[in-house]
Chain A
Amino acid sequence: MAVKEVLIYPDSRLKENCAPIIDFDASAQQLLHDLVDTMVAAGHSVGIAAPQIGELRRAAVVDVSNSKLGKKQENHGLLQMVNPEIIETEGSQIVREGCMSVPDYTGNVTRSESIVVQFTDQNQQLQVIRTAGFEAVAIQHELDHLSGLLFLDRVSSLKTDLFRRKQK
């Protein structure tokens, strides 16, 4: 077990663009282990990205199968993703997100309803999966971390925005 400390903003590492993992070596394997261990240890967490534990490399893990929301929907269980990339998106949904690295704040974020994501898994196999709903949101959130984006960069509407837009 290697549970790492989850970095909290304003740690500047959370705003870095992470580097692709070119060699899938033991250290990349270790990184995936650490991510899974840290995600599990965080209890409520359904995903974590490498920069959140101070590793500026493109890796993230997601597992919505244990969360109250996620288990109601179809999901892929534990996803360990190296160099993940969203290659297709469809639709949009507004969700209220919170983040372990930005405690005590939630905001409404517009995310794609369904996505196709491509990544190398823990067995170094290239995977392409289609997913929707909560799992799709979790993946989009974690992938943003790899580009130095926090959900704060994506907040799409203040609570009263609905009314404000109605005004002429």
Chain B
Amino acid sequence: MQHFALTIIGRDRPGIVSQVTEILFQGGFNIADSSCSILGGQFSMILIISNPAIATKEEFSDTFKPLEESNLSVYIRTLKPGGEIRTELEGDLCIISVYGADKPGIVYQVAKELGDRHINITDLNTKLIGGQQNPVYVMMLEAMLPADTEIETVENWMAELKQKLQVDISVRSLAVMEL
């Protein structure tokens, strides 16, 4: 079955989720996977959807017109076959917390340390907190460490970065207990 990625974003207000999902429900869509959150003042929705009767986005893109009319931006991406299936990731999860006085490049430099070593970031959240006088940048990320990468090794990389960026960084393993 053809799957699509649907992204919707707009000024947060009550009723967005029901407005979007009503259209999906009426149109016979399945929501296979989704994540929705408030970013700044914007409510953002990312959904993987499918409909047994629909093969191309042209067949249904018009059904979202009412959303555009109520100031929501809608973007549809057609997934390649199998694009809806999560890749099986092997390894141990770790959480990296980074926080400190706001400055350019915090996210990039931490991500680069991991990306250059082919370590997969599986989740990432950032937020600017504190007052206007002393803005503090907070970033939390989850990454999947391959079997040959020890958490101590990551701690060493981050210790260097901590010096360079003058921020606080902590690394800890996230125990997933399969019970």
Name the contact of B179 in the complex, choosing from A45, A162, A164, A166 (C-beta under 8 A).
A45
Contacts of B175 in A (CB 8 A): 69, 95-96, 134
**Which residue in A69, A98, A151, A162 is a CB contact (below 8 Å) of B140?**
A162
Is B77's CB within 8 Å of the partner chain A? no
Number of A residues with CB within 8 Å of any CB on chain B:
24
A30 near B: Cβ within 8 Å?
no
Residues of B within 8 A of A51 (CB): none
Contact of B177 among A134, A160, A163 (CB under 8 A): A134
Q: Does B178 contact A (CB under 8 A)?
A: yes
Cα distance, A160 to B141, chains bound together (Å): 10
The residue in chain B whose Cβ has the minimal distance to the Cβ of A52 is B179
- Minimum distance in angstroms from A73 CB to a CB of chain B: 11
Report whether A138 and B129 are in contact in the complex, using a CB–CB cutoff of 8 Å.
no
Is B93's beta carbon under 8 Å from chain A?
yes
B140 touches A46 (CB 8 A): no
Contacts of A45 in B (CB 8 A): 178-179
**Are B129's CB and A166's CB within 8 A?**
yes
Q: Which of B114-159 contact A (CB under 8 A)?
A: 123, 125, 127, 129, 138, 140, 142
9 new A-B contacts at CB < 8 Å, known A69-B175, A96-B174: A46-B177, A46-B178, A47-B179, A97-B176, A138-B179, A142-B179, A163-B127, A164-B38, A166-B127
A-B contact list, 20 entries, CB within 8 Å: A44-B178, A45-B178, A46-B177, A46-B179, A47-B179, A69-B175, A95-B177, A96-B176, A97-B179, A98-B176, A98-B179, A99-B178, A106-B176, A134-B175, A138-B179, A141-B177, A151-B179, A159-B142, A162-B140, A163-B140
Contacts of A98 in B (CB 8 A): 176-179
Interface string of B23-50 (1 = CB under 8 A from A): 0000000000000011000000000000
Q: Give every chain A residue within 8 A of B176 (Cβ-Cβ).
A: 96-98, 106
Contacts from A to B (Cβ < 8 Å): 44-47, 69, 95-100, 106, 134, 137-138, 141-142, 151, 159-160, 162-164, 166
Indicate whether A138 sits within 8 Å of B127 (C-beta atoms), given known contacts A96-B93, A160-B37, A162-B140: no
Bound complex: CA A163 to CA B142 (Å)? 15
User: Given known contacts A47-B179, A100-B179, is B129 in contact with A160 (CB within 8 Å)?
Assistant: no
Whether A96 pairs with B127 at a CB distance below 8 angstroms is no
* Among B37, B125, B127, B178: residue with most chain A CB under 10 A: B178
With A and B bound together, what is the CA distance between A164 and B129 in angstroms?
11
Min Cβ gap A101→B in Å is 9
Against A, the Cβ 8 Å flags (1 = close, 0 = not) of B164-179 are 0000000000111111
Chain A positions within 8 Å of B179 at CB level: 45-47, 97-100, 137-138, 141-142, 151
- Measured between C-beta atoms, what is the minimum distance from B28 to chain A in Å? 22
- Chain A residue nearest to B124 in the complex (CB): A159
Contacts of A137 in B (CB 8 A): 177, 179
Contacts of A95 in B (CB 8 A): 175, 177
A69 pairs with B177, CB closer than 8 A? yes
